[in-house]
Amino acid sequence: MANMQAKSCPGKVALVTGGSRGIGSGIVRRLVAEGASVAFTYSSSEEKAFKLVREIESAGGTVSAFKADSASAEELCAAVTKTTEALGLLDIFVSNAGILTMGTIDAYSLQDFDRMVAVNVRAAFVGVQAAARSMKDGGRIVLIGSNTAIRTAFPGASVYSMTKAALTGLVRGVAIDLAPRAITVNNVQPGPTATDMTSAYADMVKPLIPLKRMGDVSEIASLVSYLASEDAGFITGASLTIDGGYVA
């Protein structure tokens, strides 16, 4: 009989923000496949959220979906509370929710700036803080940043790059803060990845990637799954780029 590969997160409780589509849904699927009970938040994609729940439950997985706008600290904290009430204390928290509003600096509105900072930076802080307070010692926190923290490359992405660069500093400090509890804190920085959001500019960026292709959602989820596992216990405070060599 062939050896079955052991699951990396058996019996763990995980919460993923922005888990209804794109990279988030890939992370949800992977953590469930690795044996975790997973809750995820969604903001506007209710139909996709409940389609994902039905898909996972029909395959025997444990999953819950909670509506929460990551720009609202109250809704984000409530999602953490609902998760722990439904599934127990957290072992894994993935701060994935993010938005992208393009615009050059001379035309960028303060309203768009504030919304980007609220969802991409403030929500990461709020989510990590709330999750850490409801997390078992030895837990795992993973933020989803972007390789634009290292290379912006195109006009109109300055504010997005700034928000993702902020996460690199946050994980370093939080990793030190939570080290006494053996909670690791890391940042995954995907490059161009094939999702609905990126389909419009795929042909433009592929020539800039040494591997000449977009990343697959499952590849990003695989790195997150590793960082959430027991095997990654000595990795903390790191920002890990997964982008086919785009920033090489």
Using a 10 angstrom Cβ sphere, with 0-12 exposed, 13-18 middle and 19 or more buried, the burial of residue 205 is middle
42, 108, 160, 246: which is the annotated catalytic residue? 160
- What pLDDT, on a 0 to 100 scale, did the predictor assign at position 3? 44
Give me the residue label for tokens 């010692």.
137
**Count of H helices and E strands in the chain?**
8, 7
Q: Is 160 a catalytic residue?
A: yes
Q: Which helix (H) or strand (E) holds 240?
A: strand 239-242
Tell how strand 184-190 and strand 37-42 pair up: unpaired
- What pLDDT, on a 0 to 100 scale, did the predictor assign at position 4? 56
Q: Residue 41, Cα to own-chain centre: how many angstroms? A: 11
CA angle 246, 122, 20 (to 5 degrees): 65
Structure confidence by residue, pLDDT tens digits, 170-217: 999 999 999 999 999 999 999 999 987 777 778 888 999 999 999 999
- How far CA 248 is from CA of 147, 151, 186, 241, in Å, comes to 11, 10, 20, 10
Kindly list the structural domains of the chain, giving each domain's residue range(s) and its CATH number in brackets, ordered by start.
Answer: 13-242 (3.40.50.720)
CB atoms within 10 A of CB 234: 6
SS3 state at 64: strand
CB atoms within 10 A of CB 47: 10
Residues of the chain with pLDDT under 70: 1-4
Q: Are 175 and 166 in contact (CB under 8 A)?
A: no
SS3 state at 96: coil
- How far CA 61 is from CA of 44, 84, 93, in Å, comes to 23, 17, 18
Contacts of 54 (CB under 8 A, 6+ apart): none
Q: Are 200 and 236 in contact (CB under 8 A)?
A: no
CA angle 125, 129, 132 (to 5 degrees): 135
- What pLDDT, on a 0 to 100 scale, did the predictor assign at position 50? 95
Q: How far apart are the C-alpha atoms of 96 and 62, rounded to whole Å?
A: 20
- What pLDDT, on a 0 to 100 scale, did the predictor assign at position 163? 98
